[in-house]
Amino acid sequence: MFMNRWGILVRAKQPYVNWANSFEDGGPTMTLGERRTAPTMYLVHEHEDTDLRELIAGWYWEAIFDLELVSWMRETSTWPQNRTTEMFYEWFDVELVTELVDLAKGHIKSG
């Protein structure tokens, strides 16, 4: 069944990996290859404008940036300060997926 959502596919770039590996807390480390092969898909409402940069800049970059950071380090004081859309694009590659099809049976659960 076609979904009335779009997807924003986010793949980390080297600056994100460098930040994630900068903590000397004995926690896990990551490689760029690991992060690139395990992207995150964010579902968003359909929009009239399909210009991805405008869509990200106008609506979603801060939320996505925060979710990517918290997925690695919950302590917000360790996050980069003064994040911008330019920094977002230095840290992540993004793709817009406008056709999402749900092949699974049952309802989608969120939470």
- Averaged pLDDT of the chain: 89
Query: Are residues 42 and 10 in contact, defined by beta-carbon separation less than 8 angstroms?
Result: yes
Q: What is the pTM of this model?
A: 0.86
Amino acid at 103: L
CA–CA–CA angle 30, 60, 102 (5° rounding)? 80
Pair of tokens at residue 18: 């460098």
Provide the pLDDT for residue 48: 81
User: Mind listing the pLDDT tens digit for each residue in 58-90?
Assistant: 889 999 999 999 999 999 999 999 999 999 999
DSSP 84: -
What phi, psi does 43 have (nearest 5°)?
-85, 135
User: Mind listing the pLDDT tens digit for each residue in 7-48?
Assistant: 999 999 999 999 999 987 777 888 999 889 999 999 998 888
